[in-house]
Amino acid sequence: MKNQNINKINNILHITELDLHDKKVLIRVDFNVIIEDNKIISDTRIQASIPTILFALQNNAKVILMSHLGRPKEGIYQEHFSLFPIVKYLKNILYQYNIYYTKDIDSIDINAGELILVENVRFNIGEKNNDISLSKKYAKICDIFVMDAFGSAHRKEASTFGVGFFSKIACAGLLLISELQALEKALQNPKRPMTAIVGGSKISTKFKLLESLSIIADTVIVGGGIANTFLAIENNIGNSLYEPKFIELAKKIKKKYNILIPVDSKVGKNFSKSEQAILKKPSEINKNEEIMDIGNHSIQNITKILKKSKTILWNGPVGVFEFPNFSLGTIELAKQISKSNAYSIAGGGETLSVIEKLQIKNKISYISTGGGAFLKFIEGKILPAIQMLELCKKKYLKK
């Protein structure tokens, strides 16, 4: 089964191929970060966008930035969804440049080598349903559109998809290019053995991912509610989170591929931070208990596999990482990946949280900024933004 997203890099224009001097360059970035009390809690996505922004500024472009933040109601300004706190952040790290902010895309007037951040695109009516008139409005304010928001590449929206078709030129930014290169490296010709880790609560949301990875990986390690569904094939697992409807499909995958499931678990009677962990085999779990982490023997089994791995792809924690008594499985998993000499790639919101909390960012080969886009890429589903960029390159070459 061929992944449709492989070998796309040469089919799209790169920002480095274009003359940006004195051009209005609209960059769709991904600044969808957590902001509390006007403070940015995690800056990973902003930092990932800086190389493209700097490249445009250093090439004397008139830089316009667009992003979404959260899920506000279209047409209604809500201050807690405003991108304004990001302006201060950008001024601190790009202090040598003039940086502005606007709520009105009709009144953008900046000089070459300056930057302006446009307010949250999701305040605009028609953004989410890829409205043609809004897409044209975005395209009208630029000479070049740069898609650099990999985290939104799976969305067919006005600022990620429609704008490209009405822009004079549409290309990929440095972040988008590096995301595609990293994922292709992990999926196309991975160094063997390749190990994939799939954690999270629901197998239903990651079944396609699990299936795709099972085909290309030598071992797939499952954790969380996903592992529970596999455990439920032969065990009564009490109150544990699992999906009965997916047991038969899990059985087929387990029979066909090398799936590593936990041999022991840490359970509790209450879903609480203060709950004490009890170590049990799957066959020993009582009706009033629920699995919230992998056990010590399972950690040992995972460690052995990761030590031999040459490629590691990681998506999702293997337990209730937020609860101290049920975080050891994920911590040990993360430590082993960080110590490994393998090419490691990690993606997904919960995975990024683990990496940031354990401060191992510099010990992972590549950290993807995408959540849904990361999953859909691996599943082999066509990403609309990449499709748009391919079509736009064809149009550009015909000129």
**Between 218 and 371, residue with greater pLDDT:** 218
pLDDT at residue 279, as a whole number: 97
Rounded Cα distance between 307 and 23, Å, is 50
**Pairing of β 219-222 and β 194-198:** parallel
pLDDT at residue 106, as a whole number: 87
What tens digit of pLDDT does each residue of 75-111 get?
A: 999 999 999 999 999 999 999 999 999 999 988 999 9
**Pairing of β 219-222 and β 259-260:** parallel
Provide the residue type at 335 as one letter: K
Asked if residue 47 has pLDDT above 90, the reply is yes
What tens digit of pLDDT does each residue of 221-257 get?
A: 999 999 999 999 999 999 999 999 999 999 999 999 9
- The mean pLDDT of 58-72, rounded to a whole number, is 97
Mean pLDDT of the chain: 94
Q: Residue 21, class by beta-carbon neighbours within 10 Å (0-12 exposed, 13-18 middle, 19+ buried)?
A: exposed
What DSSP character marks residue 161? I
Residue 1: which pLDDT band, with cuts at 50, 70 and 90? low
